[in-house]
Structure 1
């Protein structure tokens, strides 16, 4: 029988033998009184390090016990390969051989990991430039590197450590990696499933056997963490459908001899499906039984649903928290009737003790100032613990948009059973954005837009933005800044400064221009946690610069009312936003209402628009999204609605498939003028990209758009609505959110200009 000899055991044996030999060498010396101590063999180590570690001093009597102790103490420093004690008369001579020093640590063949990241990891364990080389430490680093590759499904990865001696007792350390091909999941089997098909259950998993898009999703790469998450998803699926006693018996992960294919087998026992026969409450409910009963979402006669049980117990715990009982215990106990496949759920509660909040601490905000987070809190220090206010506070901090994670932890105060501390843990994200947009049409060819924004300038919570549009026909420069807490009560202030030049009639070009410059100030007053009312005013000047191919309507307005128009518009608006995400919404609603009234100047008008967006989750993968917008404007004091205030429709953000801003009324020359009234309707069906599994960062959508604009004196005829349908792609890419849409008009009229392809991309920094 062959015995496997571990390399680490060999190294330990060699080291032990070396120490024994050294100690024996020490024991070979006859006892004597030490008159002096001399050290030989030092190159980089300071003599003081030796003398400080020796248990012997000048004047001491040397013996075998003290000699062996000296040997052990010097070896323990980790600086020497060999240590010997010799005697020259009454002089104790310490002879050492230093370990070589690491001159450089390098990696070759690494593609999955960044070299700088690996070097930092080596530095943390002591393998870095200037440190003594320790072979045992290098071997452990090699094994850890292999484990990291295994976590990436690279089971065939080989790591070879090369130590190259160089001058001055130094070495270069190189880890050469042969990564090989990643092992891929060849098959997933769920054994014991009867109530649901195996394909249905495997469809719940984020890991799969791969598809044509696996190069992007890497869903066919095995990960223990992902498998555990998939198993929890499987368990939740059964428990939410009545299978109260469902369990996962075992999980086997087998890898092929060539380390390229992985087979996962999950053995389950489904048990019986149970129906809820009744729900009872027991314990102390603060004499508010009816209030707590109204929170129960478990319904008798329905299959047992663990999600609803968890939802109910959490609702109970949160409701106890509203009355200051931070440590309330709520337990759902099932009483199972196996003969009839029924279960009664007993909700037992013990509120424990009422608590005060002693202190609120903030953690994780390396950039954002404490006050920016604290001013969003509605739970105050030295007040009763209030679960509703704490949840509201957490949501308000999350809605700032500065953090990827916001959590609130409750900590008991030692020695004070009626007090707690709250810790707000946040994980910051980049709050600056660089936005690039582009459109292609036969008129403008390629038009570009650019904006740079910072939502949290210097961690102050203030917003600063610059928008630039380089279109051939519409150029814009906008500077905007917002102070969300202009007052301590949370009233915001926004300042805008803008300069725009445009040629609304794009088809024939020309050298005329419509120049608008102005400034405005707007205040936002929060009336509730989701509702904000805006009001403000500004000063604006619009100049019609005549030139070739100027639309007749603009020339007529300039001749009648002057080429330069001055106005003082007042604004009033309202918004409500309860979407679950501003980047990739899956549920919730967004509404806004804006109005503008010019109370002084040459141009007198009033206009307003209302927009509503609704997101309806159909299931975990599919979402329906709806958008509607209505706008209306009219002139005052006997003047028409200014042509330069018209609404435009067509293109990105309105009716895709038509050239940007070309729908609606035309003047006698055929130029698109926009209109004083606008209707836009959009519907999207959003689904995961084929082959991407449940990845919500990459989705496709089909859409149907309809809309048009109408003149101030025109009747709004729905029969004149333009419509389009198409297919799009949404990808939260490494560069930022990307949307590409290809649209085909399904209702168009003679003279309409078509723009079928549009895209937009943004990035964070």
Structure 2
């Protein structure tokens, strides 16, 4: 609850003051009547005379009497501008004498740490206590009491709030709230009485409140809140209902505060009752001729143990299915009948479809940077069409999969004054979509080294992705540019452009007698073939130069002898992808399939092909846990008389492949014991995500355990499952302000002597 909502005072004070003042403010003799020739107002400093006349129910020419006097005084007191009002007359001239209430010159807070001072000032200003406002003691007293209650909601039962009003010149006042917040009370004891079939410890694990853990400084779960306790009691009730205890009851809840106002004791008394089974399960009401279809959605059947969650999910599934046919406000109401003697629950689900409706408008909010059209082009529910809950949910998932937003919410709102129209409101929360890495260094050989890499996934809010990388190191120099437009055409055809120049020159620092320089360009188009599937086609050109010396690694010298020091490749590539994840940020369910092939045509110096197949699957376990599986197979082959180029080898080891091993060190090595990579790679990953204690509701910050397997193989080797390297460990996944971050601690399970271990690893921007 916000401060503002708690600070609205009663307006009954003004009429009460008016009635109390009447006996002293009318100075006319009883029964005196006259025709008003003129009206004079005295005592005004800030208030305009016209303001008084606008509220005064008397005009020149009116007959004035005692009743009119009472009406006038009531009206002027009701404005809240005056502390006193007197009405008199002289020679048929009505004289209104007022004493203005002071104006508020300043509002200050002393001792407030729990609440932001500016927030408090804005809240007070909204109810009439702020700079330049008219001072009203009744409003001030109300604000003081509500501020005290706000501290009580934060478990600060010893908080004291005192106000001081200082009179200033020119009929002004300065208001100061002096606050002693005291210490926040914490839950000293939380007990559940009456439980027999379950241990108290198991039941308390369902509670958000507790006696405090090492994360309580952040979660504040040891601070009592009536709302949190109500939520915990509902979780406790669901716990029993989901395990068959249909007659479960919370008989009593006691919250006691120690006299020291620092310790809170909570006692919950329950009656478990007996375990029940489902009896007859029936559907009734408006079934729109789809009784069999709706029955197939039921997750319960006769003889099953009673399960409240399964019953709720069944009714929700029925409502969602009816929503697919335009019944946005369909209800499936459960009418249970308990047979305590036989311990069964007969269930009748009464269906009320309501009126079929259509969508008037699809509204988008919260996109402060992203253009409306970028969000709207993902919608599958159209305006002026029949409401379809399936298409609305699909629209939400497609927007979430963009990766531009940390939060996407959607709600359906009835259109006022109609019974068959709704508006669908989507509220998004922007997240940083750019990654920027800058680096600089100085060495005796390289002088100044500059490096920069930038990627913006939502360039200027247009949905386009641009990437630029620059590295001036003498060993690894890179210049690359890429641009992707996901909606190059209105039909969703995408276009990607890439230009790059990469040079590896270890000889510059006497690290190896060879140099590799690759220059290339590529163009690719993607075509949607269904809601979840895309195919892509493209082409490119790549030129590679390899310079070797007498001390170069043997594999490079042999390659130059066989194929020469330069190679041109004219590439054709194709791909297929399927993506049904519920989110691109933190998926909990769905599947991703990627299949790609790259073919170097005979127009170049070498003919080869490389294919990659990747499969990712996400399985939810309840609302908190997710199992993610990933598998990848890459294979490259030389065609005709060509061998597969060694500079296109793939590598394994490190985060993204097999954690716990140093990056790109697994697999074959040359005579110099340097990892060579290979033309084939097999990778498998399993990750089990779970919430970090105290951060259950933050899906962008999760912990995980993992099991990795993988290795690489040369062209003349067969993939040998017995040579796979395995590793396990723990990690943290966090959607940081600079991009998705993964930190892992890996333990190799079958390390060989030549393998290099690296237990702690992290990366920004990878999925596995």
Match of 1:296 in 2: 298
Q: Which runs of 5+ in 1 are unaligned?
A: 1-6, 440-446
What is the correspondence of 1:88-103 to structure 2 with a 5 Å cutoff? 92-103=94-105
Change (3 A) 1:369 1:505: same
- Aligned twin of 1:357: 358
Contact 2:359 2:386 in 1 (8 A): no
Instruction: Name the CA distance, whole Å, in 2 between partners of 1:22 and 1:510.
Output: 104
Deviation at 1:298, TM superposition (A): 1.0
Q: Which residue of 1 aligns with 2:611?
A: 608
Instruction: Kindly state the Cα deviation for residue 695 of structure 1 after the two structures are TM-superposed.
Output: 6.8
Q: Which residue of 2 aligns with 1:153?
A: 155
Structure ranking higher on relative contact order (CA contacts 8 Å, 6+ apart):
1
Aligned to 1:667: 670
1:231 to 230, 233, 248: 233
Preserved CA contact (<8 Å) 1:356 1:382 = no
Q: C-alpha offsets along residues 221-275 of structure 1, whole Å, 9 cap, x if unaligned?
A: 2222222222222222222222222233343322222222222222333332111
Q: Distance in 2 between matches of 1:119 and 1:762?
A: 42
Does the aligned pair in 1 maintain the 2:104–2:135 contact within 8 Å? yes
Query: Cα gap change, 1:715/1:495 in structure 2, threshold over 3 Å: closer, same or farther?
Result: same
C-alpha contact (below 8 Å) 1:743/1:757 kept by paired residues:
yes
Aligned-pair CA distance for 1:65 = 3.7
Q: 1:740 aligns with which of 743, 747, 764?
A: 743
Q: Is the 8 A contact 1:206 1:694 kept in 2?
A: no
1:243 to 2:277 alignment:
no
CA offset digits 1:189-239 (Å, max 9, x no partner) = 223322322221111112221112222222212222222222222222222
Q: For residue 458 of structure 1, report the CA deviation from its aligned partner.
A: 5.0
Counting only pairs closer than 5 Å after superposition, residues 503-518 of structure 1 correspond to structure 2 as 509=511, 514-518=516-520
Preserved contact between residue 396 and residue 408 of structure 2 (Cα < 8 Å):
no
The alpha-carbon distance between structure 1 residues 687 and 362, as it changes in their structure 2 partners (threshold 3 A), is: closer
Q: Distance between the aligned counterparts of 1:471 and 1:173, measured in 2?
A: 64
Contact 1:276 1:302 in 2 (8 A): yes
| 1:424 and 2:427 are equivalent in the alignment | no
Task: Please name the residue that 2:108 is paired with.
Answer: 106
Q: Is structure 2 residue 717 aligned with structure 1 residue 714?
A: yes
- Kept in 1, the 8 Å contact 2:452–2:469? The answer is yes
> Corresponding residue for 1:4?
none
Q: 1:691/1:44 Cα in 2 relative to 1: closer, same or farther (>3 Å)?
A: closer
Alpha-carbon separation, structure 1, partners of 2:696 and 2:378: 37
In the aligned structure 1, how far is the partner of 2:504 from the partner of 2:182? 57
Change in CA separation of 1:432 and 1:150 when aligned onto 2, cut-off 3 Å: same
Deviation at 1:79, TM superposition (A): 2.6
2:678 is aligned with 1:644:
no
Aligned to 1:252: 254
- Write out aligned runs for 1:242-641 (5 A): 242-282=244-284, 285-325=287-327, 328-349=330-351, 355=356, 357=358, 359-364=360-365, 367=368, 369-381=371-383, 383-402=385-404, 404-409=407-412, 411=414, 420-435=420-435, 454-465=456-467, 479-502=481-504, 509=511, 514-544=516-546, 551-554=553-556, 557=559, 561=563, 565-599=567-601, 600-602=603-605, 604-618=607-621, 621-641=624-644
- How far residue 573 of structure 1 moved from its aligned partner, in angstroms, is 1.9
Partners of 1:448 and 1:699 in 2: CA distance: 34
2:726 aligned partner? 723
Shift of 1:339: 1.8
Deviation at 1:303, TM superposition (A): 0.4
Distance 1:661 1:204 in 2: 44
Q: SS of the residue aligned with 1:429? A: strand
Distance 1:27 1:576, change over 3 A: farther
Q: 1:88 to 1:451 in 2, by over 3 A?
A: farther
2:124 to 122, 125, 136: 122
State TM-score, norm by structure 2.
0.84
Who is 1:182 aligned against? 184
Q: CA deviation at 1:74?
A: 2.8
Distance 1:435 1:68, change over 3 A: same
Structure 2: 5+ residue runs without aligned partners?
1-8, 440-448
Secondary structure of the structure 2 residue equivalent to 1:714: coil
Worse-matched range after superposition: 714-723 or 301-310: 714-723
Q: Is contact 1:436-1:760 (8 Å) kept?
A: no
| TM value normalised by structure 1 | 0.84
Spell out the pairing of 1:161-172 with structure 2 (5 A cutoff): 161-172=163-174
Question: Does the CA contact (< 8 Å) of 1:626 and 1:682 recur in 2?
Answer: yes
Structure 1 residue matching 2:57: 3-state secondary structure: coil
CA distance, structure 2, for counterparts of residue 263 and residue 468 of structure 1: 61
Contact 1:505 1:551 in 2 (8 A): no
Q: Number of matched residues?
A: 746
Change (3 A) 1:256 1:453: farther
Deviations, residues 649-682 of structure 1 (Å, cap 9, x unaligned) = 2222122222222333333433333221112222
Residues 734, 464 of structure 1: alpha-carbon distance in 2 compared, 3 angstrom cutoff: closer
Contact 1:402–1:428 (CA under 8 A) maintained in structure 2: no
The answer to whether residue 762 in structure 2 is matched with residue 756 in structure 1 is no
**Further displaced range: 43-52 or 233-242:** 43-52
Q: 1:31 to 1:286 in 2, by over 3 A?
A: closer
Residue of 37, 44, 47 corresponding to 2:46: 44
Instruction: Show CA shifts across 1:536-575 (max 9, x none).
Output: 2334444557799865544654676565544333322222
Change (3 A) 1:553 1:424: farther
Q: 2: CA distance between counterparts of 1:625 and 1:463?
A: 27
**Cα shift readout 1:479-508 (whole Å, capped 9, x = no counterpart):** 444433333333333334445455699997
Residue 35 of structure 1: how far off its partner (Å): 4.8
Q: Out of 638-647 and 404-413, give the one that drifted further.
A: 404-413
Would the alpha carbon gap of residues 340 and 686 (structure 1) be closer, same or farther in structure 2, given more than 3 Å must change?
same
Measured against aligned partners, the alpha-carbon deviations of 1:679-727 in whole angstroms (never above 9, x if no partner) come to 2222334444467678766544333333222222334344443333333
In structure 1, C-alpha distance between the alignment counterparts of 2:472 and 2:696, rounded to whole Å: 39
Contact 1:335 1:345 in 2 (8 A): yes
Judged with a 3 Å threshold, the aligned counterparts in structure 2 of structure 1 residues 191 and 709 are, in CA distance, closer, same or farther, namely same
Q: Is the 8 A contact 2:653 2:665 kept in 1?
A: yes
Q: Offset of 1:429 from its aligned partner?
A: 1.0
Partner of 2:79: 77
**Distance (Å, rounded) in 1 between the aligned partners of 2:515 and 2:225:** 60
- Give the CA deviation at 1:425: 1.8
Q: Any conservation in 1 of the 2:278–2:344 contact (CA below 8 Å)?
A: yes
What SS does the corresponding residue of 1:749 show, helix, strand or coil?
coil
1:317-367, Cα deviation, whole Å (9 max, x unpaired) = 3334445555655444334332221233334446566x3626343253554
Q: Does 1:683 align with 2:682?
A: no
Could you say what the CA RMSD is over the residues aligned between the two structures, in angstroms?
Answer: 4.1
Residues 639-648 or 12-21, more deviating:
12-21
Asked whether the 8 Å contact 1:217–1:692 carries over to 2, the reply is yes
Please say which of residues 119-128 and 16-25 is displaced more in the overlay. 16-25
CA distance in 2, matches of 1:711, 1:122: 73
